[in-house]
Structure 1
Amino acid sequence: MKIPKFIRQNLLLKMTSLNAATIVIRLVVTFFVNREITDVISKGGYAKIGNLRNLIAQLTSFTSLGVFNGVVKYVAEHKENKEQLQKLFSTTFVFTTLGSIITFVALFFGASFFSEYYFNSSDFVYIIKLTAIVIPFISIQRVFSGVINGLSEYKSFAKIELVAYLVSAALTIVFLFYKELDGVLISIALAPVVQVLVMMFLVVKILREYVQFSQLKWQAPLAKSLFAFTIMSFFSTLLLNQVEIEIRNMIENKISEDEAGIWTGLMFISKNYMVFSNALLTLYVLPKFSGIYNKPDFMKELGSIYKTLLPLFAVGMFLVYLFRDVAIDLVFKGDYSAMSPLFRWQLLGDFIRLAAILLASQFIAKKMVYNFIFTEVLSLALFYGFAYYFVDIYGIEGVTIAHFLRYIIYFIVVFVLILRYFKKQNKKAQLK
């Protein structure tokens, strides 16, 4: 089928259409797999799966010391400069090695503690140790993804995501019927291995062209530049997932384990449709913003992105809301009907979130570390604070109300800080 001309002429729309096709396939498979999981596993077990996914997300950042966005930025800026790229990858090699060793030691030898913390049980020590063994694959996958994103190789990215996900999904189904909850947890822990193997098979030529593996040195000439991204990653990925774990535990303690499973299911759906925007952020928005240095060009590009993405996202969210009960019945087995009233606030919050994180990408593109940290900490503190307060009044719906209110405030603060940044840049230009 021929792609319409207006899509072919717009890179963002081309990425969006290809990404959307990939995600539609992924969603169909995801819903099937999730339905099988919830048929076998209780809501309490489903909450444990949510905690392991949060742990893997934290490790994805920490094992590479958070250099993903730095790799995207500098590969986008220096893809024609082999010398600069070699400095980047040597520094990344040092960062990922140190991050992987520290994380492995902590997880493997502290497996009993982490099993109790994440699963409220000592029965899953072996899952924590298995995750520790897989750590090198987690860091490698993260760095190589950064290279693919920095080069804006969106076709390759789509292939990797789809093939890796299909293989992981098949693995999950096999392990589910073999060992139920334990099997699902094992498949989640092994997913990074699958992703690396698929990536090496599909894009090894691209990686070899830009990453000179034989010339990597135990040196970190760009350590200072990448360390800024390490700090930003800590406050975004690590703290974000930690707050989700704490909120899930709070729901379990204040209401019930089943309600924690309901909220985990809602977050599962939310994260799946937000995958669409997250991929575009690293493939298009971050590389684009990295090359823009003045307010008029930034506002023009931001306006173009908003006009392209927000209407599509709004229509998609409206359809999700309209057919939420159908979606719940398709994605989950058992009684998850308590999720239905939660969609209103979650979808509204996610829409504002998309607008806000598109804007906040400028913090990463321009290494505005203090602004990034301030807004992330503010956002997470507001989320936990509002959730803790509202859950006593509205029950589990209070958590989604907190989500909505948090992003309204976050968007306003980010917008003000971006305007202040360009105002300062303008003054500096005038002084010169």
Structure 2
Amino acid sequence: MAFREIYSTQIAKVLTWNSLAMLMKLISGFVSIKVVAVLVGPNGVALIGQLNNFMTIVLAISTGGVLNGVTKYLAEYRNRPAWKTYQVIYSAVSAIILMTLIMSLTIAFGSNFFSNWILNSEKFKLIFLLLGLLICFNVANSLFLSILNGLKIFKVHVKSNISSSCISLVLSIFFTYRFGLYGAMLSIVVSQSAIFIFNLFLFRKHGWPIIQKAYYFGRLNKYILKRLGSYSIMTLMGIVALPISQMIIRKFLVEHYSLFSAGLWEAMNRLSSVYLMLITTSLSVYYLPRLAEIDSYYDLRREIFLIAKLVFPILIGGLFFVFFFREVVITLLFSSEFERMEVLFKYQLIGDFFKIASWLLAFLMVAKKMTGVYIASEIFFNLLLIGFSYMLIGRIGVLGASIAYCVSYIMYFLLMLWVFRGVVFNNKFFE
């Protein structure tokens, strides 16, 4: 297929729509990294990493892990009778309200325990109390975006992402500058409340009427709940497993080396997540709903290879750029305290390439509801990551964590090639 034809496809249009949003996210992400790195140092970065991982786990459980299912079924039912859409939204919202209430009360009343367990200090218990009280806003924002994604209202989705980036950046700079490490954590917790208020103005025109109709005409559907439940298991495993693994590895680094070493590793992880944002966000917005719609084997294979031809040149070019200018990147985005993280780049970047390559195939497991295979693959990857990290960190320190990341994603990619060998190597997949 010609290069011009590739860029005329819908994924290219999504990338175009997302370009401004991604630019804002990249700018806000890089500025936030710089501000936090300079003001709190590697030790603070490590603790913030623990809090971010914990919040990811809490959000996943609070949403019941059904957001990917909401996106899939809204995309699937988009051209079908409206009552199907209403039942999906009604059933999902009912499950989410129950799970959010449970998590909110658990974290609020257990704030002292979680402060000691996650951050090894009681002085952050107010952070966890606020997290428990405000998690509902984070959940609401995520639900809104999933509905917009499933209904393919991409432009409003982009506007929401832009506003979220701007609000988060402003709050991060203000609170971190004013209160240091405590302020940085506070901004993470409270930013979603401000974002929710702004999103209400965006959502009321496009998404709110659908939710209102779902409230009046929707019913709790056991069949839909069961189908969402299968996504719940997959999503919870996918979202929760890696943050848990990272928290375990970070604690291992702190116990056997120092909080400083854990901060260097966390800084590398955070940098990685920011520069991969363009690809991962665009895939989430377009790729999952598109795979969910495809029933033909030939269209499925064509879509995967089409996306690969678009993504890989951008990915490889970006990774080489980051590697060759890694000293400049450290100077611009961090501080002199982070100079020792330069040795982590090579293995991190190789791992990032295989991470994206494996995700292009792994998204199929979610789109086609391959629950058992998905759970087994996630367990396989995270056990590899923890096992290799324990083995290598004990021998070569923080560099071992980056090598473990690299090796684990290479093996995960090989597993995906084997699982989807029918698609990749032109054999029948649906038969």
TM-score normalised to structure 1 length = 0.93
Give the 3 Å change call, closer, same or farther, for CA 17–126 of structure 1 in structure 2: same
In structure 2, the residue corresponding to 1:318 is in which secondary structure? Answer: helix
**Which stretch of the first structure deviates more once superposed, 204-213 or 182-191?**
204-213
**Which stretch of the first structure deviates more once superposed, 73-82 or 353-362?**
73-82
1:314-361 superposed Cα distances (whole Å, 9 cap, x missing partner): 101111111111111111124101111111111111111101111111
Q: 2 CA distance for matches of 1:255 and 1:262?
A: 12
State percent identity of aligned pairs: 27
1:64-89 superposed Cα distances (whole Å, 9 cap, x missing partner): 10111001101111123310111111
Q: 2 CA distance for matches of 1:161 and 1:90?
A: 25
After superposition, residues 194-205 of structure 1 pair within 5 angstroms as 194-205=194-205
Residue 99 (structure 1) aligns with: 99
Residue 132 (structure 1) aligns with: 132
For structure 2, list consecutive stretches of 5 or more residues without a partner in the other structure.
none
Residue 230 (structure 2) aligns with: 228
Cα pair 2:61 2:103 within 8 Å, conserved: yes
The residue type equivalent to 2:225 in the other structure is A
In structure 1, the residue corresponding to 2:69 is in which secondary structure? Answer: helix
Q: 1 CA distance for matches of 2:221 and 2:321?
A: 49
Q: 2 CA distance for matches of 1:178 and 1:89?
A: 41
**Which stretch of the first structure deviates more once superposed, 224-233 or 408-417?**
408-417
RMSD, aligned CA: 2.0
Is 1:219 aligned with 2:224?
Answer: no
Cα pair 1:345 1:404 within 8 Å, conserved: yes
In structure 2, the residue corresponding to 1:124 is in which secondary structure? Answer: helix
Q: 1 CA distance for matches of 2:57 and 2:153?
A: 25
Q: Out of 370, 387, 390, which is 2:389 matched to? A: 387
Q: 2 CA distance for matches of 1:321 and 1:71?
A: 38
Q: 1 CA distance for matches of 2:146 and 2:267?
A: 29
Q: Out of 409, 412, 419, which is 2:414 matched to? A: 412
Q: 2 CA distance for matches of 1:379 and 1:145?
A: 28
Is 1:302 aligned with 2:304?
Answer: yes
Residue 367 (structure 1) aligns with: 369
**Which stretch of the first structure deviates more once superposed, 365-374 or 89-98?**
89-98
Cα pair 1:72 1:282 within 8 Å, conserved: no
For structure 1, list consecutive stretches of 5 or more residues without a partner in the other structure.
427-432
Residue 241 (structure 2) aligns with: 239
Q: 2 CA distance for matches of 1:78 and 1:60?
A: 26
Cα pair 1:93 1:218 within 8 Å, conserved: no
Residue 47 (structure 1) aligns with: 46
Is 1:164 aligned with 2:164?
Answer: yes
Q: 1 CA distance for matches of 2:169 and 2:412?
A: 35
1:19-60 superposed Cα distances (whole Å, 9 cap, x missing partner): 344323322232223222222213212211111111121122
Residue 356 (structure 1) aligns with: 358
After superposition, residues 31-430 of structure 1 pair within 5 angstroms as 31-80=30-79, 81-211=81-211, 212=213, 214-215=215-216, 219-221=220-222, 222-419=224-421, 425-426=430-431
**Which stretch of the first structure deviates more once superposed, 301-310 or 197-206?**
197-206
Cα pair 1:262 1:339 within 8 Å, conserved: yes
The residue type equivalent to 1:215 in the other structure is Y
In structure 2, the residue corresponding to 1:205 is in which secondary structure? Answer: helix
Q: 2 CA distance for matches of 1:296 and 1:164?
A: 38
In structure 1, the residue corresponding to 2:122 is in which secondary structure? Answer: coil
Q: 2 CA distance for matches of 1:317 and 1:20?
A: 19
Give the 3 Å change call, closer, same or farther, for CA 424–8 of structure 1 in structure 2: closer
Number of aligned residues: 423
In structure 2, the residue corresponding to 1:344 is in which secondary structure? Answer: helix
Q: 2 CA distance for matches of 1:299 and 1:40?
A: 48
Cα pair 1:26 1:165 within 8 Å, conserved: yes
How far 1:402 sits from its partner (Å)?
0.9
The residue type equivalent to 2:12 in the other structure is L
How far 1:177 sits from its partner (Å)?
2.4
Cα pair 2:42 2:337 within 8 Å, conserved: no
The residue type equivalent to 1:165 in the other structure is S
Cα pair 1:75 1:85 within 8 Å, conserved: yes
1:65-117 superposed Cα distances (whole Å, 9 cap, x missing partner): 01110011011111233101111111111111111111012111111111011
The residue type equivalent to 1:63 in the other structure is S
In structure 2, the residue corresponding to 1:123 is in which secondary structure? Answer: helix
